[in-house]
Each structure stands twice: as structure tokens, then as C-alpha cells.
């Protein structure tokens, strides 16, 4: 796992060392183990390295000779899990390292810009080919690893994080107010545009070809199979699922450094630890967070401990209290340069620090289990007809109807509408809901959270449920093997019933919740005026209504308060430029 960046000068000049230096410094947290760069003519590439596989010879940029004898360079952020299998397609003598990321370079030499079609992993890759005068950028189909770019009349620049290009001065941190309003209503943003005007995402599965600083070609791979549904019996599906899950977890454990996993005690993490227990001779290092300080939210630590014990794991408990909430908020908002107002960023941020302090560099996590096996209740609602109470996902904004926004319309849902229109034909209602989440919610909320929170501490996060082979199996499953009655993830639960019965897969789970409501309520009168006074908030919201909202009680009001608080802190750091120092109150103070 690493940070990558680069720049192509459109006038043919050599990129300046100062810009590359600043990009490298801004991405140092993603790669604390070293750095490398390569400048060829008008193009400069760099990488900051977190060494996971091939610790001795895997430094980047990696280079190989093209057909005409010239050198082609690659920098990558991520892991290619099937690199061993892919290497067998080539002459072993052509490889000069044991790095998983050398394989895409040889695939490019063989397959050109289609090189990514056989990769199984998470990646953001940049290849500079001086022989064809092109830069090729490619991102994994699920969007696990981020990649951003900026086009200007002077240059084309890209980086693993938007903030790196802001710090390097290749773009001014100007707010796109339409995307900011979308953030306030959804807690994440959709599509290619970010809240930074001029900074775009390389879309999940997209490969861009750049020549002379201009994008000349786009190609895209889907994370989901094109086939609709296939028929199978429960027994056949259980056997197949065990095989594909084992294959994915086994590949995601490929590492030359120690690894662990996040354990909530829920279905997804329980399935991971059950499979990891089967595949590891030594106890798995499992990390669980809890909130047992008198709040009324569920604290799953006791259940997670029982699951860890049954899976012969070494269990680490991490406590998250109210003081952590206020102290970590500015740091987490600073890490989330592409903003995600998901309160799970805070416990994830603290757990990443605990993993680092335990001496690990890799963590496996259960993101994607709900999307692959249909775990969310909103899927069941979306799949029902309107006559039976069905309704579209995210049909109401977080701030809709609360009297806070200057413009309270439905324009914030335009990105969701585009994603809905782009869904392929032939899907069931349940599959449409799954595919819609895979298009935006997954890459732009859950995976963004994992990437930024873990990489802020130099930790690599791996998500075995988001694997091309597992998706090819799970997505076409009949709806009845995903949902039965009021329970989603039926097949995964059925497998756990035998594989790890201590996980109690069919018992009622209360879910993962951070007690933001009581914490915000206790400070609402002090917090409301501070948030309402922020220039970023006043651009979008009514000052008096915002302050009044923080005096209100209720679940929906608490969510709205949280989103406004997070956005105010994010705007202070990433747009205004204030350093993330002190607690939330100090950050908001004039």
C-alpha cells in the first residue's frame, strides 16, 4: 500500500522538483517506508512506499524495456493478490523483483491499455510509456484504492489523495457548492466530481489514457458480473461459497509482514475470522472497539470476545469514549480530504492507531459483505413494490425539511438518479439495490473511510468480500438465498451456523452504532453557535436555524447535527486552510 502521484507538462518541459517534493511530502503518511521517483521528459512519477510484499527489491518506480528498447515506468498503490498466478504466464527471467506490482507492468507490455482486465486485487496504477507518449491510469473495479486528477492548460496531475495536489499548488482549494450540498444530504458524494472544484476521481474500474496532458481515451471494468441470476440449491451454494470465500481470504492474507483483522462480532467479520482461523496456524490478531461508558448504544465487545475465543484469536479491545469523539474529530476530518460524513470514521481512525501500536501493518475488514450478500434493510424495502411499502433508497436527504438549508430542493439527488439510470437491464429489484450501492456508496463512503483512516496511520486495509471471484459468485445468486423474511445475508448466516456457531448468526443483531446523539446533546448549546458561525456553513445554511438545530433532540436531528459539525471542521481545514490542532471546539473557534 502506498501513495502515488505524477504530473505531465503540456508544453513539453520537465516537471519542477519543488512540485514533486511537495506531492511526496503530502503523501508520506501513506508510505512511511521509503519513496522513489522517475522523471522522463515532460512526465514525472513518484511513490511513497508502505512495504508489504517483497520488502527487499520492491521499491518503485518499477521499470521494464518495451518492444523498441525504451524503458516504461510504473508506480502503484495497492496489492495484486493473484500476482503469483499471473507470473506463470510469462518467462520467469523477465522479472527482476518479487513485487506483486511488477506483474501489471508485464501485462501492459503484452496487452496494452487492457492490462487490468485480469488483475485480482485493489489498485491505483500509473504507467508512463514514452514510446507511445502516453500516461495510463487505472483503478480497481470496486474503487478500493483512490486516484484523483486535475487537468489545466499547463499540465495534467494525479495523486492518491486530493489534498496532495492542493498542497502542491496544482489546484486552488475552491469549493464546489453543489457537491457540498450533496455531501450534507447523503453524507458522501457521487460520481467523478469531488467537493474540490477541478479535482476529479478516476472512477472505479476506469482506465484513462493521457497524451500531452489530455485524456484521449477511457475504458471501464465493472465490479459485478453481467449475468443476471443463476439457479442453484442451498447445499450447492453453501459448498461453492465456502470455496470462493476461502480462496479470497487466502489471497488477501498474502503478505510478507504481520496482519490482523477488525472484529465487530457481526456476520461479515465473524465469517472472516472463521475462515482465517482455518487458514492460519497462529492465532489471528483481532481488534474490537466498544463504547461502554454509560451510553445506551449496543456494545458488542462481549459478543466479539466470545467469537474471538471460539476462533482461537488473540483479542484486542479498543475503548472509544466521549473525549475521543471531541479530540479525534479534527484529525479525522483532516484525513478525510475527499469528505465522508460517516460517524464510523472516528472509531475506525482510533482502531487504526491501535493496529499500528500493536506492530501490524495489514488489517482485513468486512466491508462489502452487505453489498455482496444483501445485508441492508434498505435493500429489502427497495425490492418491494410501492403497494407493499417499498421505496427507493436515499429518497430523503439528511437535512431535507429541517429548515436549515438556503435551498432545500432535490438537486442533491441528481448523482443518484444518474447511477439508477445506468443500471443494466435484467436485474431483480434486490440486485438493482446492490448494484446501486456498489456504484457510489461503497467506493465513496465505506471504502473511502477505510482508506483514509488506515492510511493516516500507515496501515493497509484489505476487504476480502470485494473480490472479483467472490462477486461473480454472490451477485447472481437467487434472491431467496440472500434474503429470507426479515434477514439478509441468509447464505452467509447459514454457513456460519456450522462454521462458527458461537457467532449466533441468526440471532438479532443491533448493529454498529457510535453514541453521537448523547454526546452532541450534552454540548449542543455551546456547539450550535460555533458551527453556525462558520463561513462554510453560512454559504449553504441559515445561521439561526443551524444554531437552533443543535438545541433540538431526536435521532434525525442528531444525524443532521453530526453532518454539519463534520462539514464545518472539514471546511475549516481543507478550504480555509486551518491546521487540525486541538479539539473540535478549538478548531471551530475564531
Ramachandran region, residue 53 (left: φ > 0; alpha: ψ -120 to 50; beta: rest):
beta
- How do residues 53-95 score in pLDDT, each as one tens digit? 988 889 999 999 988 888 999 999 999 999 999 999 999 888 9
Is it the case that residue 513 has pLDDT exceeding 90? no
Is it the case that residue 590 has pLDDT exceeding 70? no
Tell me what the mean pLDDT of segment 374-386 comes to: 86
Q: 382 vs 163, 227, 374, 378, CA distance in Å?
A: 36, 21, 11, 6
**HSE of 373, CA atoms in CB hemisphere, 13 A:** 27
Any idea where the domains of the chain sit in the sequence? 2-220, 234-503, 516-588
Q: 356 vs 35, 263, 287, 461, 551, CA distance in Å?
A: 20, 16, 11, 12, 38
Bridge pairing between strands 134-139 and 121-129: antiparallel
Whether CATH 3.50.50.60 fits 234-503: no
Give residue for cell 482486465. Answer: 117
List 125's β-bridge partners, or say none.
76, 138
- Using 50, 70 and 90 to split pLDDT, how confident is the model at 134? very high
* Cβ contact 144:452 at 8 Å: no
How far does CA 531 lie from the centroid of its chain? 27
Residue with the larger pLDDT of the pair 424 and 590:
424
Tell me what the mean pLDDT of segment 159-182 comes to: 97
Residue 20's pLDDT is 97
Q: Which three cell numbers stand for residue 38?
A: 522517475
* Cβ contact 207:177 at 8 Å: no
Cβ burial 524-553 (10 Å sphere, 16+ → b, else e): beebbebbbbbebbeebbbeeebbebbeee
**Residue 124 has what DSSP assignment?**
E
Which of 115, 121, 119 shows the shortest CA–CA distance to 137? 115
Residue 78, φ and ψ in degrees, nearest 5: 140, -165
Is it the case that residue 255 has pLDDT exceeding 70? yes
- Using 50, 70 and 90 to split pLDDT, how confident is the model at 231? confident
Which of 87, 78, 41 shows the shortest CA–CA distance to 60? 78
Residue 305, φ and ψ in degrees, nearest 5: -65, -40
* Cβ contact 531:550 at 8 Å: yes
Is it the case that residue 512 has pLDDT exceeding 70? no
Bridge pairing between strands 43-49 and 2-9: antiparallel
Largest CA distance in the chain: 70
Residue 387's pLDDT is 58
DSSP structure string for 484-520? BTTBS-HHHHHHHHHH-GGG-TTS--------HHHHH
- How do residues 407-449 score in pLDDT, each as one tens digit? 999 999 999 999 999 999 999 999 999 999 999 999 999 999 9
**Residue 215 has what DSSP assignment?**
E
- Using 50, 70 and 90 to split pLDDT, how confident is the model at 391? confident
* Cβ contact 101:76 at 8 Å: yes
Tell me what the mean pLDDT of segment 383-390 comes to: 69
Is it the case that residue 226 has pLDDT exceeding 90? no
How far does CA 441 lie from the centroid of its chain? 9
Please report, rounded to a whole number, the percentage of residues in the chain having pLDDT higher than 70: 96
Residue 509's pLDDT is 67
Polymer length of the chain: 590
Mean pLDDT of the chain, nearest integer: 94
How far does CA 534 lie from the centroid of its chain? 28
Low-confidence winner among 155-164, 199-208, 300-309, 343-352 (lowest mean pLDDT): 300-309
* Cβ contact 139:166 at 8 Å: no
Residue 295, φ and ψ in degrees, nearest 5: -75, 165
Give the span between the Cα atoms of 492 and 277, in whole angstroms.
17
Residue 296's pLDDT is 66
Residue 210's pLDDT is 98
Cβ burial 286-319 (10 Å sphere, 16+ → b, else e): bbbbbbeeebebbbbbebbbebbebbebebbbbe
Residue 118 parent element (H or E): none
Give the span between the Cα atoms of 370 and 242, in whole angstroms.
17
Is it the case that residue 294 has pLDDT exceeding 70? no
* Cβ contact 15:9 at 8 Å: yes
CATH number corresponding to 2-220 = 3.60.20.10
Residue 293's pLDDT is 61
Low-confidence winner among 133-147, 224-238, 335-349, 420-434 (lowest mean pLDDT): 224-238
Residue 540's pLDDT is 97
Residue 412's pLDDT is 96
Which of 223, 74, 207 shows the shortest CA–CA distance to 149? 207
Q: Which three cell numbers stand for residue 124?
A: 491505483
Is it the case that residue 228 has pLDDT exceeding 70? no
Amino acid at each position: 500500500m502506498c501513495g502515488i502521484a505524477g504530473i505531465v507538462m503540456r508544453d513539453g518541459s520537465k516537471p519542477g522538483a519543488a512540485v514533486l517534493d511537495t506531492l511526496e511530502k503530502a503523501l508520506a503518511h501513506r508510505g512511511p517506508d521509503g519513496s522513489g521517483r522517475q522523471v522522463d521528459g515532460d512526465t514525472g512519477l513518484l511513490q511513497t512506499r508502505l512495504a508489504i510484499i517483497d520488502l527487499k527489491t520492491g521499491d518503485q518506480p518499477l521499470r521494464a524495456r518495451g518492444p523498441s528498447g525504451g524503458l516504461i515506468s510504473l508506480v502503484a498503490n495497492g496489492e495484486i493478490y493473484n500476482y503469483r498466478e499471473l507470473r506463470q504466464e510469462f518467462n520467469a527471467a523477465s522479472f527482476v523483483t518479487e513485487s506483486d506490482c511488477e506483474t501489471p507492468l508485464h501485462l501492459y507490455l503484452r496487452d496494452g491499455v487492457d492490462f487490468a482486465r485480469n488483475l485480482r486485487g485493489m489498485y491505483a496504477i500509473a504507467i508512463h510509456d514514452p514510446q507511445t507518449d502516453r500516461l495510463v491510469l487505472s483503478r480497481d473495479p470496486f474503487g478500493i484504492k483512490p486516484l484523483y486528477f486535475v487537468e489545466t492548460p499547463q499540465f495534467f496531475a494525479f495523486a492518491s489523495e486530493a489534498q496532495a495536489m492542493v498542497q502542491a499548488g496544482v489546484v486552488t482549494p475552491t469549493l464546489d457548492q453543489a457537491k457540498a450540498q450533496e455531501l450534507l444530504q447523503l453524507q458522501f458524494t457521487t460520481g467523478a466530481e469531488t467537493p474540490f472544484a477541478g479535482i476529479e476521481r478516476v472512477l472505479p474500474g476506469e482506465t484513462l489514457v493521457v497524451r500531452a496532458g489530455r485524456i484521449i481515451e477511457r475504458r471501464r471494468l465493472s465490479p459485478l458480473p453481467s449475468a443476471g441470476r443463476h439457479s442453484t440449491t442451498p447445499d450447492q451454494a453453501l459448498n461453492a461459497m465456502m470455496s470462493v470465500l476461502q480462496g479470497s481470504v487466502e489471497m488477501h492474507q498474502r503478505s510478507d509482514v504481520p496482519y490482523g483483522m477488525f472484529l465487530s462480532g457481526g456476520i461479515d467479520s465473524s465469517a472472516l475470522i472463521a475462515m482465517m482461523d482455518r487458514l492460519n496456524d497462529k492465532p489471528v490478531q483481532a481488534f474490537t472497539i466498544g463504547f461502554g461508558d454509560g451510553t445506551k448504544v449496543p456494545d458488542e465487545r462481549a459478543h466479539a470476545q466470545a467469537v474471538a475465543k471460539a476462533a482461537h484469536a488473540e483479542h484486542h479491545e479498543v475503548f472509544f469514549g466521549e473525549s475521543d469523539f471531541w479530540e479525534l474529530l479534527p484529525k479525522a476530518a483532516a484525513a478525510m480530504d475527499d469528505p465522508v460524513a460517516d460517524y464510523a470514521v472516528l472509531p475506525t481512525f482510533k482502531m487504526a492507531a491501535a493496529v499500528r501500536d500493536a506492530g501490524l501493518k495489514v488489517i482485513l475488514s468486512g466491508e462489502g459483505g452487505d453489498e455482496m450478500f444483501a445485508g441492508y434493510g434498505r435493500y429489502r424495502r427497495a425490492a418491494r413494490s410501492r403497494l407493499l411499502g417499498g421505496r427507493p433508497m436515499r429518497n430523503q436527504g439528511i437535512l431535507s425539511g429541517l429548515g436549515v438549508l438556503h435551498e432545500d430542493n432535490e438537486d442533491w439527488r441528481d448523482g443518484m438518479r444518474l447511477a439508477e439510470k445506468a443500471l443494466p437491464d435484467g436485474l431483480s429489484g434486490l440486485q438493482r439495490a446492490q448494484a446501486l450501492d456498489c456504484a457510489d456508496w461503497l467506493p465513496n463512503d465505506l471504502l473511502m473511510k477505510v482508506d483514509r483512516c488506515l492510511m493516516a496511520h500507515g496501515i493497509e486495509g484489505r476487504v476480502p468480500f470485494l473480490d472479483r471471484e467472490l462477486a461473480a459468485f454472490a451477485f447472481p445468486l437467487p434472491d431467496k438465498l440472500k434474503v429470507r423474511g426479515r434477514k439478509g445475508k441468509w447464505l452467509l448466516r447459514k454457513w456460519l451456523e456450522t462454521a462458527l456457531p458461537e457467532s449466533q448468526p441468526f440471532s438479532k443483531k443491533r448493529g454498529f452504532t457510535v453514541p453521537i446523539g448523547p454526546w452532541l446533546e450534552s454540548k449542543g448549546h455551546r456547539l450550535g453557535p460555533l458551527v453556525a458561525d462558520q463561513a462554510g456553513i453560512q454559504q449553504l445554511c441559515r445561521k439561526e436555524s443551524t444554531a437552533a438545530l443543535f438545541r433540538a433532540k431526536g435521532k434525525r436531528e442528531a444525524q443532521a447535527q453530526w453532518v454539519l459539525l463534520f462539514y464545518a471542521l472539514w471546511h475549516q481545514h481543507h478550504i480555509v486552510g486551518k491546521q487540525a490542532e486541538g479539539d473540535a471546539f478549538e478548531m471551530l473557534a475564531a
